[in-house]
Every structure is written in structure tokens, then in C-alpha cells.
Structure 1
Amino acid sequence: MLTIKDLAVSFRTRRGEVNAVRGVSFEVAEGETLGIVGESGSGKSVTSYALMRILDAGGRIKAGEAVYSGVDLKRASEREMQGLRGREISMIFQNPRAALNPIRKVGHQIEDVLRRHARADAQNARAKAIEAMEAVKIRDAEARYDAYPFELSGGMCQRIVCAIALACDPKLLIMDEPTTGLDITTQKAVMELVTELIRERSMSSILITHDLGLAAQYCDRIVVMKDGAIVEAGDPVRLFARPGHPYTRKLVDATPREGASIRELLPAEVRTPEPPRRISDEALLSVRDLVKTYAGKSGPVHAVKGVSFDVKAGQSVGLVGESGCGKSTTSSMVVRLLDPTSGQILFAGEDLAKRPSAGFARDPMRAKIQMVFQDATDSLNPRHTSRQTIAEPLRAMAGLRGRARAERIEELADLVGLPRPLLDRFPHQLSGGQKARVGIARAIAVNPDFLVLDEPTAALDVSIQAIVLNLLVDLRARLGMSYLFVSHDLHVVRLLCDHVVVMKGGEIVEQGPTEQVMTAPADPYTAELLEAAPKPPARDAA
């Protein structure tokens, strides 16, 4: 169905031409799902954009062939491509909210593609759009038709994007990181839904991902990309059990999996023994009967309902659950970004719930509790250099000035493994892993006792995630900190946390030692979460 031969894509930049894709060749057979895996910058998304002919203005297909069902995509006119996009080849993009028009009802956006390809007219467009929504299992599709993207959850937005992509029964579906940012049960639901529809409609598909567990589970064949080129290809079971290329071995080894220690995620040549640490018998943080209620249109909305748990000094506690379960609301109250409706937040014996969040930034206790945010890009000021970002808490909370502050900034950069020359760069000049290090350096700048980590590695490639997780392990031991680690990635929680708290619908359904909860869950919901998590590929012992 699709043949790519020696494809090369380049971009014009102020520093000259950049070769993003170099000599890529592969085929997709009818009914086959091909996985393209690799880290950010490997060229996997650019390859798909070249096929769709939707490269940025500075990008061009420099060489090679791309033939779909006898049509030369490289030489096709824009008019021909407009006819192919959506009707023959369709795409599900990485960020569903960014892919949808925020000021247009989702039903109208599905209608647009139906009418563009003459699959509907003014009389039946609404009915066909609702039918497309029902095909992707959107409950009460008629009511959802009039919703705007901001009124829907991330998983629901992704279903709308799937409905748009599948509305015209394309023959080839390209999925570019379709589950990034979704919790594991929603991820499983979306992938199984798409897989079922692909099978029913006899479609071919390309899954682009950096999640090796996802690729192993849903793909018939895998190609591995690095620096714009394919380094290895083959059957997923064979490829991941016995990777031939060092880069594939690095990806497989860096993927969190059952039975592996956190140090085993790192390349053997840089592994060091995990540092010893002491966990106190006494609780540093005690959350008691914490409640958060919002006023809703039809009555109060109970976001958090009587949550209680402890974090001991030196301990890491994982807070897990699906989107909307209340884990982020709980962590925001703990770090005093939100006021609770009722309950206690006892930190070092003092009830922080009695201190309003509005003035907590100036509270002496603020320096003791810090946070590392989920999206390193969004949480950094784009107009501040790394140096300025790390300097801010030192100025505001520690009162450091001049040489003392400059020395502390460089000390922090060394501590988190951020090369000093990068201190004078802006966020857009840093990689994801480097931005994560800046966020961590800012959080630990004033020597906090307690760190709230909200999905700090969710958007990172597996090898960068492995480095950041090991950095957190080292800092925890070296600085004697306690962590509240908020995540939906159970494999990561198992590696980093001593104790786990499972939330559903604003309540705790289970908590206990991590191994006990992960190995023998007492609550059916915990078992459901564990079952939904993609199973990372296992390496052969050899």
C-alpha cells in the first residue's frame, strides 16, 4: 500500500540546512500496523509529515520516493493531496487539544471533513457526524456534538480526533504519539478502539511512538529511528528480546519494567550503586480528612473526599490514579497552591491548611515545601534564562545576593547535572531533559524538606526519563528529602516509591507498601490500572 524509498527531508534554518530525515526506506502492507519508534528528534514525526505533505514552510522532501497505491506523493499537486488527506490517508496528532479548533463545536469539526470529501451534505451532515462519534464509542454523542474542546476531557478530545480521522474511511491511518498525556486506562481504551476499527475496516496504519510497550503490544513490525535514519527493523518480539543495534538496546534497557531496578535503566558504563538513605519512623507530612468542593451548575462538585495519608521523612510516596481522580488537586492543596474546603495538612507538626494559599508564597514554610511541575516547558518563563529561573527562589526566599547567589546557582547546576554553559540559555534553547533539570534545580534551590513531583517525566523520552529518575534518587539520598510523586505511570512509581496511594473519584481506594500493592492489589480498580499498563518488552537474559 505504501512504499518509502531513500526518503530525505531537510529544513532551511538561519544556521544553514538541517537534514532531518536521511535515506529512510520502509513499506506498509495492506492490513499491517507498522511501528516507528525513537526519541525526540529522531525524525519519526517529520517522516509522517513528509508523507502527508504538511511540512513547515522551511521543510522540503530533498530526495527519495513516497508512493501510496500507485500515487507519487512527492510529485502530487496540492490539489491532489487535498483530495488524499482525510479520504485516503488520515492522521491522529499527538496533542488532541491543539489539533482541534478551540472556538468551534466538535460536531461541526467532524462535519467539515465529511463535507470536504463529499461524504455528507447540509441535510445529513449532523447525522453522519453523530454516527462518526458513536463509531469511536462516545457516549451520548448527540449531546457531545455541541460541546467545545475545552468542555471535554483529554481522552474525549482524543476520541473526537479519532472520529475526524476515521470519518471518511481512509485506507491508511497515521497515529503520531496518539496516547501521550492520557492516563493508562484511557490509553488502553483509545488504542483498543482504534485497533478494532482498523481491523473492521481492513485499514493499514503507522504508529509513531517512543513507548516501546505500546509498540510491542499493537504493531506487526517495528522500525527504529535515530538521528533521521533507520538503525534497525523487524518483528517486535525478536527486536525487543534481542536488539541488534546499540541504540535499540539503550531504548529497551531504559524502559521501566517489572523486575528491573532504577539503576538498571541507565547504560552499564554510567551505573553507580544506589545511595543509601534513612526513612524515619515519624511522619513529616500527615494529611487528614482532606476535602475539596467546588460550586457547580447543578450543585457542589466533590473533587477530593476525605483523603488521609502520611509521608515519612526520607520516604517517597506515589499518588496514582486516572485523570480526574483528584490526585493533582490533592497535591496542589499539600503544596498550598489551593485551599482545602476542610481537613488538615500537618507538616512538621503545623497545620498548613489554616494558612491561606494566597499569602503562602511569603510564608517561611514555603521554602520547606517545593514542587516540580509536569510540563517543564510551560512551567519555565520563556523570557528568563536558566540562571534567572534558578535565581528567583534564592532571591525571594533565601535573600541571597551577588557572588553568593551566583555561586549557589552554579552549585545547583552541578548538582542536577546541568552544564554551566547552559545557564545562560532560554527554555526554547534547551532539550526536554535539560528543562527538567532546570525545574528540579529551581525546586531544590532553598533546600526543601519535601518535594511534590507532578508527572515530572511524563513528556520525556525513555532514556532521558531514566536519567531524571536516577537524578531524583540521588538527590533524595544526598539532601534527605521526602517525595510525593504524582503519576499515572505505575512502572515508574514502582521504581521510585516506597509506598503507594491509589485514588479514584476523589477518594483513596487502596494504599500500602508499593510491592505489596503492585503484586497483590486488594481493590479491583488497582488491578484494572495494573492490567491496563502497557507491558514493556523484555530483554533476553543473554
Structure 2
Amino acid sequence: MTTPKPLLDIENLQVTFSTRRGPVEAVRGISLSLAEGETLGIVGESGSGKSVTGFAMTRLLDASGKISGGRIGFRDRDITKMTSASLREMHGSAMAMIFQNPRGALNPIRAIGQQIADAILAHRKISASEARAESLELLRAVKIRDPEKRMNAYPHELSGGMCQRVMIAMAISSNPALLIADEPTTGLDVTTQKVVMDLLASIAAERGMATILITHDLGLAARYCRRVVVMEQGRLVEEADALTLFRSPQHPYTKRLVAASPTATSRVEDLVTDDEKLLVPAVPVPQPPKPAHGTPPLLEVLDLVKRFDDGTVGVENFSMAIAPGESVGLVGESGSGKSTTSRMICRLLDQTEGTINFNGQSISHIPAREFHRAPQRREIQIVFQDPNDSLNPRFNAFDCIAHPLIRLLGMRNGAALRQRVGECAHRVGLPANLLERFPHQLSGGQKARIGIARAIACRPKLLVLDEPTAALDVSVQAVVLQLLDRLRREDNLAFLFVSHDLNVVRMMCQRTIVLRNGAIVEEGESHQLFDSPKTDYTRELVDAVPHIEMIAAEKMAAGA
């Protein structure tokens, strides 16, 4: 019996980018194959070359990139030697791609119905009315609510999940044999992520499409891919079926990725890392003592309400308390009111109604625009979601950390300021030689460390963490989480930890509050809440999280 020829066959692929400092090898001789209807996962951290591999397969590399060696065979045709006309014919009709940022990939000034019709008309000679009718059917196929109404909507009028469904509709419009999904769920909350991925998997199964899922989320690859390849620094370092790869990884890099991925049973200290661990020695730090009975809370929020100018209710009757040294998680889907609540507590946003008491004093009467002058400003600090956007690009690392010391504590340039900044940098594991560098000269993990050093510089009592690791790779995330947990124990810091990553909240927080549409639906001790949720909504959130070990057990039981 002859083995069927693979749909896609890549041999010794090499991709090089021209830069001002000379050529950079982004992909270094990888080889892989994909059968008809198969789902393959390509996993790795930022800079591993996984997205570049996807762009090379479709010949969509930018002007500075070129395929410098190797062969990409697709149905016995070498893509590297195709003419522009042949490539245009192939894109969409034989091979399609879903991009990482759906809103950025859609035309902002064209209705989505027209954009789907454009994709259809690019490959088939049919009338505009027929293309529009097919566009409507595709919107129904990707389960968009009110498809007739959405036909005339623009990308900015749709949520991130809706935009991703539109991208899927465009990608499948001409029944391609291969669909390449590049980080299709980045930025989506867990339930939307599950809906989008379930939809993608069911469409691929119905139409017999082969799929390549490019992701840094190992849980996602474990759940949806039969076979997975791991990339590091442009090289393919390991390849196996998903069950084998995640249960018994062989390569040191794969072992590190699997260990650093939070699971339903992980503890912060279990997130093993290698090189980064040397920067922040793993010295055991005991839990701070529990406050004595009757100790007033550090933060007390009563009946907080936020109504926006258009009448939208962002937060409704929100009440909570945080004790000194306690870590409380705030979880929910996008639009649930998590960030709005945290911004009001930090006094970056005024509430409509309600009371916020901090350390026994009301701060809710202080307008957000005046709070920087209040003495409580130094005691409530925030670590923002994106370290790229939250650091001043004109400040070097030293200036970023020194800024709150100068503004809030009145420190002046001199030996005392240098010593304090150096101390903060040392505590977060930032080497002193990086203090003179600007944000664009630093990695994501280094920028995250600066954000944390800046937040702890004034020795606050409450740290509000707004998705602090959402933009980081899993191994960098592991280091940052270990760092935050150590700082909390050493300084008896209280945390309000805002996140949609339930595995991280389970590890980092003693209590968790679940928000939906601005209101609390459930709260309680974290492990108990996640292990035995009392509401259907919390259960839905918990079930949507892809756990590597749970998925492995399910596949074993199913004999996959």
C-alpha cells in the first residue's frame, strides 16, 4: 500500500531578513509535512520563527524578507518558484491565512459584507449579487448573530471575536485546501477563544481542510492539534503527536515551555525556568502573617457604580475588601468591567456612585485629575497590561523608575535617587547595565520588570495589576509571576490582580471575584471557586481554559 503524498511538504526552508546591521536568519533549515485534512500546531515563543514560517508558506513576507533556501511543495508545485500571477490565483482558492490582529487585517472603511464578497470575486466569475448572497451564507456559517444586519457593519463596530469570525468567513470563502491560522485567539478572553477555535475546528472537519495553528499557547495546541512541532530561534527542535509531546517532552526547550505553562494544579514555584532563575534567586519567602481578627481592611469598596456619558453601565453595585498583604483576583470576559473597576480604585477614572476607602480614609471624593497630589497616590500603584505602551519612549530605564520617586516623593537627582533606583532594579532582577537603555532596546520581559520596579519604587501598600503578563511569552510570564509573588511576600503588599487567564489567577490569588456585565456573579477562595464553581457563568469560564494535563487525559481516554 503506497503512502499518500502530503498536501504540504517543506524541505530545509531558510528565510533571511535584510537589516541595517546585516542579514538576519529568521528560519534556519526547517523541514515538515502536512497531510490532507490534518491539523498541525507550530508552537514557540516570540522570535522563534513560527509566524515567519507561515508567511513564507504563503509568500507574504515583507519587502526585507526573502526565502534564501529550501523548497515549499504544495500539491507538487514549488511555491518558492511561483510567479506573482500564480500566487494570486492560489491565495484564497487553495491556501488561506487568518492573521493575528483581525481588526488590523480588515479594511476599516469597507463594510464586512463587501469585504467577504471581494474575496469571493477575486477567485470566481460570478455576479455581485451572487457574491453578496454567498457572503451572507458565510456569516451564517461562522455563527455571527444577526448576519443580515452585520453585512453592513464596519470592523470598528464589531468585537474582537466577531472580527475574527469575519476573517474566518473570508478565509473559507473559496474552499481552500489549507488554512493557516497565525495566533488566531491573541487578545480574546477564554470563552471567546474557545468559541472561535471550536468554530475553526468544526469548519475544517466539515470541509476536509488541513489546518496549521501557529500559537504560543501550549494548551490551545494540545486541545486542537493532532501533531505539534516546536520552534526555537528559527529551528525546529522537536516534533511529535500532541499527547506525547506534552506528556513527555524530550528537548530542554520544550521541557521549559511545558513547565512554564500554568495548569489547573500549578504553584508559582513550579514554573521552572533556567537562565532567568539565576537573576532572581529562588530564596524561600514565607507568607506574610494573616491580619488579626478585627483588623480593618486596607481597601474597602462599597456599591461602586460607573455610568458612561452614552448611558452604558460599566460597573454596577460593586463591593469588595482587601486586607493588608492579601491577593485578590478579578476575572471575567472582555467588557465585564474588570479594567473599569481597577481604574476607579486607582483613581484614574471617576466613579458615578459609591465609596472607596483606603487605609481607613475615603478617597472616592478626590477627583481622578487631582489624585496625583493626594498622599495616597504613592501607596496605590498600578502595573499596566502592555509594557511597550506604558513606558515613556524618551526615558531610559533609570528615568522610568526614577520618575515616581521625583514626582511623588520629591527626591532630587543625586546619590540617594541613584541608590533607590538601583535597589528597585536589583529587586526585580534587572541588571544595572540595562538602566541606561531605552524601551525599544529591551525585551518584553525586561520592560515588564521596569514596569514593576517603577510601581514598587514608592513602597506602596496596594498594587493593581492589570493583565500584567498578557503580552509576554510563557517562560517570561513564569519569571514575572515568581517575581511578583516574592515581592508580595517580602513587602506584605496587597494585590488586585486583573486577568482573563484563570490559571494565573488560581496560582497568584487567595480570593477571586468573577465579574459579568459590570456585576459580581461569584466570589470566594480561589481554589474552591475554580474547583467547584457555583454559577453556570463561572463554570463556563473554567471549562473554556485549555489545560494541558486535562486534555492529555481526555485524549488518552478517547484513544487518540
TMscore range, shorter length = over 0.9
Aligned to 1:396: 407
- Cα distance change, pair 502–120 in 1 and its aligned pair in 2 (3 A): farther
Give the match for residue 6 of structure 1. 12
Contact preservation (8 Å) 2:273, 2:478: no
Q: CA–CA distance in 1 between the matches of 2:90 and 2:289?
A: 61
Higher alpha-carbon deviation: 250-259 or 396-405: 396-405
Post-superposition offset of 1:238:
0.9
Quick one: which amino acid aligns to residue 80 of structure 1?
Answer: S
User: Is the 1:119–1:168 contact (alpha carbons within 8 Å) kept by the matching residues of 2?
Assistant: no
2:206 to 200, 210, 231: 200
Which residue identity does 2:96 align to in structure 1? S
Deviation at 1:250, TM superposition (A): 0.6
Deviation at 1:413, TM superposition (A): 1.3
Q: 1:338 aligns with which of 344, 349, 353?
A: 349
Following TM superposition, by how much is the alpha carbon of 1:539 offset from its aligned partner in structure 2, in angstroms?
12
Deviates more, 1:286-295 or 1:416-425: 416-425
Q: Deviations over 1:201-258 (max 9, x none)?
A: 1000100111111101000101011111111101111111111111111111111112
8 Å CA contact 1:216, 1:537 repeated in 2? no
Supply the distance in 2 between the matched residues of 1:104 and 1:534 (Cα, whole angstroms): 35
Maintained 8 Å contact 2:336/2:517: yes
SS in 2 for 1:402: coil
Q: In the alignment, which of 541, 548, 554 is matched to residue 529 of structure 1?
A: 541
Match of 1:305, SS state, is strand
Tell me which stretches of 4 or more aligned residues in structure 1 moved more than 3 Å: 267-272, 537-540
Question: Which of 375, 380, 387 pairs up with 1:364?
Answer: 375
**Counterparts of 1:508 and 1:144 in 2: how far apart (Å)?**
31
> Deviation at 1:272?
4.0
RMSD across aligned C-alpha pairs, in angstroms? 1.6
CA distance in 1, matches of 2:549, 2:57: 29
| Paired residues of 2:120 and 2:174 also in contact (CA < 8 A) | yes
1:315 aligned to 2:326? Answer: yes
Unaligned runs of 5+ in 2: 1-6, 553-560
Aligned residues: 537
Following superposition of structure 1 onto structure 2, how do residues 265-284 of structure 1 map, counting pairs within 5 Å?
Answer: 265-267=271-273, 270=277, 271-280=282-291, 281-284=295-298
Contact 1:172 1:204 in 2 (8 A): yes
Q: Residues of 1 paired with 2:173 and 2:148: CA distance?
A: 16
Bigger Cα displacement from structure 2, 377-386 vs 150-159: 377-386
Q: In 2 relative to 1, CA 316–50 (structure 1 residues): closer, same or farther, beyond 3 Å?
A: same
In structure 1, runs of 5+ residues without a counterpart are none
One-letter amino acid matched to 2:199: L
Residue 496 (structure 2) aligns with: 484
Give CA-to-partner distance per residue, 1:466-494, whole Å, 9 cap, x none: 00000001111122211000011110001
Q: Does residue 56 in structure 1 map to residue 62 in structure 2?
A: yes
**Alignment partner, residue 191 of structure 1:** 197
Partners of 2:424 and 2:171 in 1: CA distance:
46
Secondary structure at the aligned position of 2:344 is classed as helix
Amino acid at match of 1:170: P
Shift of 1:387: 2.0
Give the partner amino acid of 2:41. G
Q: Does the 8 Å CA contact 1:275/1:474 hold for their aligned counterparts?
A: no
Q: Distance in 2 between matches of 1:274 and 1:152?
A: 46
Q: Deviations over 1:104-146 (max 9, x none)?
A: 3222222221222226432333222222211111000121122
8 Å CA contact 1:289, 1:343 repeated in 2: yes
Q: Does structure 2 retain, via aligned residues, the 8 Å contact 1:263–1:272?
A: no
Q: Please say if residues 223 and 551 of structure 2, whose CA atoms lie closer than 8 Å, have aligned partners that are also in contact.
A: no
Is residue 290–residue 344 contact of structure 1 (8 Å, CA) maintained in 2?
yes
The answer on whether the counterparts of 1:335 and 1:371 sit within 8 Å (CA) in structure 2 is yes
How far residue 77 of structure 1 moved from its aligned partner, in angstroms, is 1.1
Seen in structure 2, the aligned counterparts of structure 1 residues 62 and 42 have a Cα distance that, compared at 3 Å, is same
Deviations 1:419-463 (A, max 9, x none): 222222222221111111111112112111111101111121111
C-alpha distance in 1 between matches for 2:462 and 2:39:
45
Q: 1:396 to 1:84 in 2, by over 3 A?
A: same
Shift of 1:16: 1.4
Residue of structure 2 equivalent to 1:291: 305
Give yes or no for contact 1:240–1:539 (8 Å, CA) kept in 2.
no
Q: 1:442 to 1:102 in 2, by over 3 A?
A: farther
2:459 pairs with 1:453: no
Asked whether the equivalents of residues 252 and 537 of structure 1 are also in contact (C-alpha less than 8 Å), the reply is: no
Q: Partner residue of 1:374?
A: 385
Say which of 401, 405, 409 aligns to 2:417.
Answer: 405
Could you tell me whether the CA contact under 8 Å between 1:241 and 1:539 is conserved in 2? no
Contact 1:373 1:379 in 2 (8 A): yes
2:429 corresponding residue in structure 1: 417
Contact 1:31 1:205 (C-alpha < 8 Å) held by counterparts: yes
| CA deviation map 1:81-108 (0-9, x unaligned) | 1111122111111112221222332222
Distance 1:112 1:50, change over 3 A: same
TM-score normalized by structure 1? Answer: 0.96
> Secondary structure of the equivalent of 1:57?
coil
Matched residue SS, 2:389: coil
Q: TM-score, structure 2 length as denominator?
A: 0.93
Q: Which amino acid aligns with 1:346?
A: N
Q: CA deviation at 1:268?
A: 7.4
Does structure 1 residue 123 correspond to structure 2 residue 135? no
